[in-house]
Amino acid sequence: MGKFNDTDIIHADLGDERFLGASSVPIFHASTYHQPNPSNPPSYRYSRTNSPTRDTLEKVIAKLEGGTRGFAFSSGVAAIASVFMTFKHGDHIIAPDDIYGGTFSLLTELFVRWGLKSTFVDMTNPANIEKAITKDTVAIYVETPSNPFLCITDLSAVANIAKKHKLTTIIDNTFSSPYLQKPFDYDFDIVIHSATKFLGGHSDVLAGVVVTRDKAIGAQVSNVQVAFGAVLDPNSSWLLLRGIKTLAVRMKQSQLGAQIVAEALSKTQGIKKVYYPGLESHQGYEVHRKQARGAGAVMSFTLDDNIEPTKFFEAIKIPIIAVSLGGVETILSYPCKMSHNTMPADERERRGITERFMRLSIGLEEPADLIADIKDALKASKN
């Protein structure tokens, strides 16, 4: 993993350009900019194209990922969709079987109508990726750890396959954030985040980002960003910049808590199985340790058959029960009704996203309090 310095995160936004000496970048609300000589336009002209607050954020996220260009979008799915829009009718993408439900829907319901083809494979075995390559394949899309089973894909193996077949590599790096995993170190081409999650960190901003390294790929994403226009507004850009300042300290603390909670839950009556890359028993534990500097703060688990999920939700007190993850507060999600509710029921069942399957994103609370709360809730929800 490339050099990463927590100090850089704190000072990444201002660099040499302090606006009036301010400690944070101003929120520039202007939608348009004075052009006294339109034949020689200034740097900022119209805020769909670029605006100073968003520009600062885009530079910061590019720096943190170790890329050359950053792009901020109005949501994570807008970022993902904008990357898909760089492809053309007839192109084919290989994506993971275990994948955020919204991305699955984008490919199988939306982009399929414009002729972008996709195949979903179990990427825990890279050989499955190679088998799925067709003459039309243009890209390999990865999520590692994936949503919701935290499956691990070997980034080096994917990059090697991509190189051999001249394919573009894309990763949704949301669960790790650039603090834990730097896909450009593994020669990936495009890094995407739902910045709504760990980058924002406070469950108060909806945003997505894309980072590129290659000049031509950067130009393609830039063209879509301006043409499609799903850009991030100045207020949200500023909120995201503020959230990013505490990325290192939040990731360290919530990951510490997650490890304690995951270990405790894997020995708790009422829980059948815990999925967390920090557990030695987890698929891909060794691969993840090699390519990331921590297991992160998200886990999922299956309840025993004698636990009633509705009662469990009623009994639990500390986490908010909600869509999303990566906040300072612990978030308990119900994938079958939330993140993966748009996935057809048979697809969900086949993957194990059942009524007893939960996802848990650990925040900054005391791990002992969370464990006690979960144990109490389990006791109160026995059939």
Residues of this chain that interact with ligand PLP (CB under 6 A) are 75-77, 100, 102, 143, 147, 172, 174, 194, 196, 206, 208, 324, 339
State the Cα–Cα distance between residues 334 and 336, nearest whole angstrom: 6
Catalytic (active site) residue 275: no
Q: How far is the CB of 196 from ligand PLP (least distance, A)?
A: 4
Q: Decide whether 83 or 161 has the Cβ nearer to ligand PLP.
A: 83
100 catalytic, yes or no?
yes
CB nearer ligand PLP, residue 76 or residue 218: 76
Q: Which residue is nearest to ligand PLP (CB)?
A: 76
48 noted as active-site residue: yes
- Which of 100, 186, 275, 334 is the catalytic position? 100
Whether 197 and 244 have beta carbons less than 8 Å apart is answered as no
> 153 in helix, strand or coil?
coil
DSSP state at residue 24: S
Please give the helix or strand (H or E) that residue 141 lies within, else none. Answer: strand 137-143
3-state secondary structure of 337: coil
Supply the minimum distance, in Å, between the C-beta of residue 206 and ligand PLP. 6
- DSSP bridge partners of 273: 302
Specify the residue, 116 or 377, whose C-beta has the smaller distance to ligand PLP. 116
Q: Which of 197, 250, 351, 359 is catalytic?
A: 197
Comparison of 336 and 378: residue with beta carbon closer to ligand PLP: 336
Bridge partners, 131 (sequence order): none
Minimum distance from CB of 192 to ligand PLP (Å)? 7
Instruction: Round to whole Å and give the CA distance between 334 and 360.
Output: 9
Upper half-sphere CA count for residue 196 (Cβ side, 13 Å):
15
Which is catalytic among the residues 48, 59, 242, 245? 48
- Per the annotation, the verdict on 172 as an active-site residue is yes
Select which of 13, 91, 154, 172 is catalytic: 172
Lateral strand order in the sheet of 298-303: 271-275, 298-303, 357-361, 331-333, 320-321
Q: How far is the CB of 138 from ligand PLP (least distance, A)?
A: 21
Write out the catalytic residue numbers. Answer: 48, 100, 172, 197
